[in-house]
Amino acid sequence: MLEIVRIENILVNQEPNNWEESISIVGQLLENAGSINAKYTEAMIEAVKQLGPYIVIGKHIAIAHAAPEVHVHKNDMSVAILSKPVAFGSQNDPVKVLFALASVDGKSHLEKLMELARIIGEDDEVVDLLSKCTTKEEVYEIINGVNNGRVPLSHRKG
């Protein structure tokens, strides 16, 4: 199976106090993986402060990212499921599912954004399913299952 998000880059039941803290959560996952350094997490937060809530790409979902630069060591992605959703100041608030994307160059950055948008947009229920996940394994199965043409978990139940 082709992995979009590795299981060690997934957190569930997160309760950030604000959007900055939520970005720090997904950034820390990438830092722990050795994919970025702390300056990239700071750049993701600064981008929202300067440009507004552009990372909120749909109802209840956001993809934190910043310009590819020297603070990214390898292409990677993380995701946090927020049991305490946060507001970014978008009409699609509150955000319940937050991804972070790190890319070493502009081409791979755009490719990964498009790939993630395809997965999220492929099934109207994907964001809803993700927001209800209580384990990393459920999140992993949904994201990577949709990417590999398999049906999300809820469609297989019953």
Catalytic residues: 65
Which one-letter amino acid corresponds to residue 143?
I
Closest to 97 in 3D by CA, of 121, 120, 81: 81
- Which residues are CB-contacts of 113 (< 8 A; sequence separation ≥ 6)? 63, 65, 101
Using CB atoms within 10 A of its CB, is residue 51 exposed (0-12), middle (13-18) or buried (19+)? exposed
